[in-house]
Amino acid sequence: MGQAKQRGNREQRVAQAQAKIEATRPEKLVCNGCGADVTTIHPVSTRGLPGVEAIWLGQCDCGQTTFAANGKPEAVQAFFDALSADTELTLGSQRRDGSGHETA
C-alpha cells in the first residue's frame, strides 16, 4: 500500500479518480438516431475494459442511447465494435456517479 498511501486516503483517491473522469465529460453528445444534441450525460463504469479511461452515456428524447468513450484508440474501437456486434445490449447497473457497478 506504499504507493496508494502517498496519494492520500481512500476518499482522496476516489475523489481524484472521479475528477479525472469528470474532466473528460463531453459538453454534449450527438444522437446517433436523430442527430439531436444530448446534454444529459452519465458516466459508465470501465471496470473490465483495459485501455478505456471513460465512457459516457446519453439517452435522447427519441429513445436512442448514444455513447462516447475515451482511452487508447484500439481499446475504444474494441468497445464500439462490441457495442455494434451486440444486438441485445444489456447494461449493468450502477450509481449515477459511476460507482457501485453491478453486471446485469
Check if the beta carbon of residue 57 is closer than 8 Å to that of residue 67: yes
Q: How far apart are CA 53 and CA 71, in angstroms?
A: 5
pLDDT at position 104, please?
A: 43
Q: What angle do CA 33, 39, 41 make, to 5 degrees?
A: 90
First to last CA, the chain: 32
Q: How far apart are CA 83 and CA 64, in angstroms?
A: 13
Residue 99 grid cell = 460507482
Is it the case that residue 18 has pLDDT exceeding 80?
yes
Residue 104 grid cell = 446485469
Q: Give the tens place of pLDDT for each residue, 30-66.
A: 998 899 999 889 998 888 899 999 999 999 999 888 9
pTM of the model as a whole: 0.68
What is the greatest pairwise CA distance in the chain?
50
